[in-house]
Amino acid sequence: MGPDLSVFLGLIADTLGYWWVIIPATILGIVVGAIPGFSAANTIIILLPITLTMEPATGMIFMVSLYTSSRLGAGIPAILVNIPGTAGAAATPLDGYPMAVAGRGQQALAISFTSSVAAGLITTVAAIILIPWLSQVAFHLHSVEMIVVMLFGISLIATISAEDKIKGLIAGFFGLMIGYIGADVVYEAPRGSFGFLELYDKVPLIPALVGLFAISEAFVVIERSSILSKQGEIDQKQAGWGPTFEGIRETLVHWKEVIWTSLLGLVIGVIPGAGAAIASFVAYQQSRLMSKTPELYGTGHVPGLIAPESANNGVTSGTLIPLLIIGVPGGATAAIMAVVLEYHGVNFGPDLFDTQPMIAYGSFTAMLVTYVLLGLMILPLTRYFSHVMVVPTVYMAPILIAFTLVGSFVPRAYIFDMGVAIVFGIIGYIARRTGYHVAAILIGVILGPLLENYFLRALRISQGDLGVLFSSTIGNILWVLLLLSLVAPGMKRYFALSRVNRKKTGSD
């Protein structure tokens, strides 16, 4: 596998011929990505009657372009109004929103877009080159290894709760417990569902996200006339194109951060079921861990925005690999792509790259073209998108509530889910007011069910033997890395303090 350069360039040229599919899909993707509840997966399902009538290659390029651009679109509301468009962007507001409140929304958008586009281009090229090796990743990462990967993400709870660790842990564990609501994956035993049939299939994620971020935010911002701080309002009014160029420059300065977090996203994306949320949480946590200024994370720090945005765009190309190589979709959107391609009689497997290169490699070249197009289209819009923040809160709050609540209805079409969003909104409001991090609760709600699924599978396979958690070499290496990542910040602080004390003693 792996095309030579001339074939690859030929494929790019062929893909450019599909501009009439890519451009509308890209615009649509940005819009649906930016609205909570309207994921790429939902939109592709809605548009199935159109997609199924297209040629397989055309349909695939349409779906890939829509998927790619929706990932980028999800960062826009996360930065401007503290509402992630999808769970994959849940770590984006941690540093993006504080930048926006301080009047640096335009710059934050430019950073988000530049890092997303760069990450998308890097990982797509890497995916094309590394397909034979990356396709093996899923074979080596089983339930046990995935438990440790999940714990890497969950350890972010402690990281983002730097101000008050105890409150952070309470919020995170509370979120995990909420995530355990519903039937378990092995025995289908309903647990903690308050008797609601609608909760048997776990707590719906979009209503939880809408409630914790959007509804609670709307109830908070009505105290002020604008989301922006006083200085932020002044800066926003005076802003020209400078912040956009500054954002691009800042991203390029942090090029190493973009590369390694996007590759981390690519590897996590290859693992079926892992997805963009876990990738962005792990990337944020690891970025903070390796930073020389970890205390700046959560205050509007540039690497804290680059890490999750690069990682969740890295996931995009990764999810296609198991789909095309072994027919196992890496996520919900890839699963719908599989349905469409199977409808057209496409057989997945390594042969696909020889028999139908326009579908196999074409999926990746469509991603490349989409990312280039996104870069050209969306960066000039940063200046105008950021004006959303000057809309007075008297208008913003009711509109936010109405559209995000309806967004929480869309995935399952249950009015019940809108009620769930209100309940989470109240919890989120109380949490914000009393110093509990809503992101910590959300991490628990997202990762809790995933962690439990892998845990149950591991125990089921080992017939209840807990020793299975330490039974694989890769798993044990990951355990050691997890342990190191947990103790490293404390060790760093200890050694820094010791150095200061030694210097003091020396000078005395």
Segment near other proteins (CB under 8 A); pick from 121-129, 173-181, 198-206, 376-384: 173-181
Q: Which of 263, 427, 446, 469 binds other proteins (CB under 8 A)?
A: 427
Pick out residues in 387-406 that bind other proteins (CB under 8 A). Answer: 393-395, 397-399, 401-403, 405-406
Residue 158 interacts with other proteins (CB under 8 A): yes or no: no
Residue 410 interacts with other proteins (CB under 8 A): yes or no: yes
The residue count for binding other proteins (CB under 8 A) is 64
Q: DSSP characters for 377-426?
A: HHGGGHHHHGGGGGS-HHHHHHHHHHHHHHHHHTTTT-HHHHHHHHHHHH
Residue 451 interacts with other proteins (CB under 8 A): yes or no: yes
Pick the closer one to other proteins by CB: 167 or 249.
Answer: 167
Q: Closest by alpha carbon to 114, among 295, 316, 382?
A: 382
**Separation between Cα atoms, residue 419 and residue 233, nearest integer Å:** 34
C-alpha distances out from residue 21 to 6, 65, 302, Å: 24, 8, 34
Residue 57 interacts with other proteins (CB under 8 A): yes or no: no
Residue 197 interacts with other proteins (CB under 8 A): yes or no: no
Segment near other proteins (CB under 8 A); pick from 14-22, 107-115, 275-283, 407-415: 407-415
Q: Which of 430, 481, 484, 488 binds other proteins (CB under 8 A)?
A: 430
Place of tokens 């903070």: 288
Q: Closest by alpha carbon to 112, among 134, 91, 135, 137?
A: 91
Q: Which of 148, 455, 468, 472 binds other proteins (CB under 8 A)?
A: 455
Residue 423 interacts with other proteins (CB under 8 A): yes or no: no
The interface mask with other proteins, positions 211-230, x = CB under 8 A, is ----x--xx--xx-------
Pick the closer one to other proteins by CB: 93 or 407.
Answer: 407
Residue 189 interacts with other proteins (CB under 8 A): yes or no: yes
Contacts 24+ apart (CB under 8 A), 172-177: 172/440, 172/441, 172/443, 172/444, 173/444, 174/441, 174/444, 175/440, 175/441, 175/442, 175/443, 175/444, 175/445, 175/448, 176/444, 176/445, 176/447, 176/448, 176/451, 177/444, 177/448
The answer to whether 213 and 442 have CB atoms below 8 angstroms apart is yes
Residue 181 interacts with other proteins (CB under 8 A): yes or no: yes
Segment near other proteins (CB under 8 A); pick from 81-89, 162-170, 232-240, 266-274: 162-170
We find the least distance from the C-beta atom of residue 9 to other proteins, in angstroms, to be 36
Q: DSSP characters for 215-281?
A: IHHHHHHTTSS-SS-HHHHHHHHH--SHHHHHHHHHHHHTHHHHHHHHHHHHHHHHSTTTHHHHHHH
CB-based contacts of 434: which residues, under 8 Å, 6+ apart? Answer: none
The answer to whether 161 and 432 have CB atoms below 8 angstroms apart is no
We find the least distance from the C-beta atom of residue 215 to other proteins, in angstroms, to be 7
We find the least distance from the C-beta atom of residue 384 to other proteins, in angstroms, to be 17
Residue 52 interacts with other proteins (CB under 8 A): yes or no: no
We find the least distance from the C-beta atom of residue 168 to other proteins, in angstroms, to be 9
Pick the closer one to other proteins by CB: 154 or 360.
Answer: 154
Token pair of 372 as six digits:
């280039």
Token pair of 437 as six digits:
């991090």
Pick the closer one to other proteins by CB: 156 or 176.
Answer: 176
**Separation between Cα atoms, residue 313 and residue 344, nearest integer Å:** 28
Residue 191 interacts with other proteins (CB under 8 A): yes or no: yes
Burial level of 493, CB count in 10 A (0-12/13-18/19+)? Answer: exposed
Pick the closer one to other proteins by CB: 340 or 358.
Answer: 340
Residue 456 interacts with other proteins (CB under 8 A): yes or no: yes
**Which residues contact other proteins by CB under 8 A?**
38, 43, 46, 166-167, 169-171, 173-174, 176-178, 180-181, 184, 186-187, 189-194, 215, 218-219, 222-223, 393-395, 397-399, 401-403, 405-406, 409-410, 413, 415, 418-419, 422, 425-427, 430-431, 433-436, 448, 451-452, 455-456, 459-460, 464
